[in-house]
Amino acid sequence: MVGSVERDHGSLHCNGSIHNSNGAEKRLDELRGLLGKSNGDLLKIVGIGAGAWGSVFAALLQDAYGHFREKVQIRIWRRAGRSVDRSTAEHLFEVINSREDVLRRLIRRCAYLKYVEARLGDRTLYADEILRDGFCLNMIDTPLCPLKVVTNLQEAVWDADIVVNGLPSTETREVFEEINRYWKERITAPIIISLAKGIEAALDPVPRIVTPTQMIRCATGVPIENILYLGGPNIASEIYDKEYANARICGSDKWRKPLATFLRQPHFIVWDNSDLVTHEVMGGLKNVYAIGAGMVAALTNESATSKSVYFAHCTSEMIFITHLLAEQPEKLAGPLLADTYVTLLKGRNAWYGQMLAKGELSPDMGDSIKGKGMIQGVSAVDAFYELLSQPSLSVLHPEENKPVAPVELCPILKTLHRILIKREVSTQAILQALRDETMNDPRERIEIAQSHAFYRPSLLGQP
């Protein structure tokens, strides 16, 4: 079913004036023109997946363009049937009552009573139901605008012009294989923007990284020029609260610049870049080391010294890995460090590492956490470890003067794998890795990478 969105005349008048003055309708018309839309023909945009970033992304588009109802339709798909437990319902009720604008909106929509009943335990709320009212289950404290929600995947995607992938990388392949069944009769390929930050490892016929955009291409057959990646150093809730942020949309010349213009807002600046896969992989790499940063912070009682030691070692490993993945790795240093920094400050992967170290979570509980969603760094640890442990990728060890798998020069990654995947040591092992007197100066790891021809194009599926 499709939810309805009530028009808030006051806020939409204000928002409409702001967006019009910033050329929102002109940007919309330009994109419609590029897609061959005639008058009366809706530009149909659908988000797939309603995690924090996927929901915020849809809400940003709804706020910016949703009032042009004769020109664009913006919807979001999520699975039906996910119930909201009572403790979350009670917290949601507190959030509603702390925000007068939200409270008034729900009363006008005759939707307030169901939240009262849920708080009392007399009614069960569902995730798709509250999303229609502007509440993301993974981000209860940040109310969004009401969204048009579709729970039938075929209805959501069959004639969509732009599909936004907000799914975790671990679910992307499966869902887009299903989507492909609904696109058999399509004449023109849609545009797909992936927000996912995660990777998989493939070992045959050669070791290589598989990214969400590659999964989508394989599952659907949509040309790679129509598949783009958008990422950047940002926290979803802060972007919706209009904290200044930036991101990059990466992909083909044909679509990345028009989409960067379309997505840009006064507080959300979107740049563009042609290097699709490498930026996508970097988005997954920083999640790996964010988990370890959270562990170190919790185990050392937020010691600034310990965290800085960890940062020195983890960034040297990331730079080392970047030299394996990119022909011109220096171009990625800024975006990678910025994305890493924000994730260490407030990202869910760093939070997960903290909870593990505090004993409030355990690896046995899995990587899908209530109120947070999928912790992408866990699967990324496994993928990077598997890839970098392959003998075919060997590099020369600086002291032993013999070929070793790249992972042997990445002690933090090895330790995270032992904690999260093998589960053979506790989180305390991350501190032991930092305190190991035989560990080389992290500067040396960077110098090794910079002084050798490490680049392995096959890792990203390049010839």
Q: What share of the chain is helix, strand, coil (3-state, %, to 5)?
A: 55, 15, 35
Q: Which fold has domain 20-81+148-274?
A: Rossmann fold (3.40.50)
**What does the alpha-carbon distance between residue 235 and residue 4 come to, in Å, rounded to a whole number?**
27
pLDDT-above-70 percentage for the chain: 94
Q: Is the pLDDT of residue 392 over 50?
A: yes
pLDDT (0 to 100) of residue 446? 82
State whether the Cα torsion 95-356-304-344 is positive or negative.
negative
pLDDT (0 to 100) of residue 463? 59
The residue type found at 97 is N
Summarised one tens digit per residue, pLDDT across range 401-420 is 788 999 999 999 999 999 99
Name the helix (H) or strand (E) containing 156.
helix 153-157
State whether the Cα torsion 277-279-281-283 is positive or negative.
negative
Q: Is the pLDDT of residue 266 over 70?
A: yes
Mean pLDDT for the stretch of residues 88-97: 97
Q: Which fold has domain 277-460?
A: N-(1-d-carboxylethyl)-l-norvaline Dehydrogenase; domain 2 (1.10.1040)
pLDDT (0 to 100) of residue 439? 67
**What does the alpha-carbon distance between residue 58 and residue 146 come to, in Å, rounded to a whole number?**
10
Q: What's the pLDDT band for 110 if we cut at 50, 70, 90?
A: very high
More confident: 115 or 398: 115
CA atoms within 13 A on the CB side of 120: 7
Q: Which residues contact 110 (CB under 8 A, 6 or more apart)?
A: none
For the chain, the domains span: 20-81+148-274, 86-125, 277-460
- The residue count of the chain comes to 463
More confident: 107 or 198: 107
pLDDT-above-90 percentage for the chain: 75
Q: What angle do CA 402, 406, 407 make, to 5 degrees?
A: 120
More confident: 449 or 427: 427
From 286, 331, 372, 402, the catalytic residue: 286
The residue type found at 457 is P
Q: Are 64 and 56 in contact (CB under 8 A)?
A: no
Summarised one tens digit per residue, pLDDT across range 356-383 is 999 999 999 999 998 898 999 999 999 9
**What does the alpha-carbon distance between residue 241 and residue 81 come to, in Å, rounded to a whole number?**
29
Strands 227-231 and 208-210: unpaired
Per-residue b or e along 334-366, where b marks 16 or more CB atoms closer than 10 Å to that residue's CB? ebbbebbebbbeebbbbbbbbbbbeeebeeeee
pTM over 0.75: yes
Highest mean pLDDT among 10-19, 57-66, 315-324: 57-66
Q: What angle do CA 39, 43, 46 make, to 5 degrees?
A: 165
**What does the alpha-carbon distance between residue 313 and residue 14 come to, in Å, rounded to a whole number?**
49
Q: Which two tokens stand for residue 93?
A: 């009720």
Asked about 286 being catalytic, the answer comes back as: yes
Per-residue b or e along 381-404, where b marks 16 or more CB atoms closer than 10 Å to that residue's CB? bbbbbbbbbbeebebeeeeeeeeb
Q: Are 62 and 115 in contact (CB under 8 A)?
A: no
Summarised one tens digit per residue, pLDDT across range 4-59 is 334 343 334 333 334 444 699 999 999 999 999 999 899 999 999 999 999 999 99
Show the DSSP H helices in 300-375 as ranges: 304-325, 333-346, 348-358
Mean pLDDT for the stretch of residues 124-128: 97
pLDDT (0 to 100) of residue 301? 96
pLDDT (0 to 100) of residue 437? 66
- What are the CA-CA distances from residue 350 to residues 11, 111, 256, 260, 345 (Å)? 36, 36, 31, 29, 8
pLDDT (0 to 100) of residue 447? 82
- What are the CA-CA distances from residue 59 to residues 51, 140, 351 (Å)? 12, 14, 25
More confident: 121 or 14: 121
CA torsion, ordered 56, 57, 62, 64, to nearest 10 deg: 110
Summarised one tens digit per residue, pLDDT across range 294-307 is 999 999 999 999 99
What is the average pLDDT value for the chain, to the nearest integer?
Answer: 91
Mean pLDDT for the stretch of residues 85-95: 97
Q: What angle do CA 67, 72, 77 make, to 5 degrees?
A: 100
Mean pLDDT for the stretch of residues 328-355: 88
pLDDT (0 to 100) of residue 10? 38
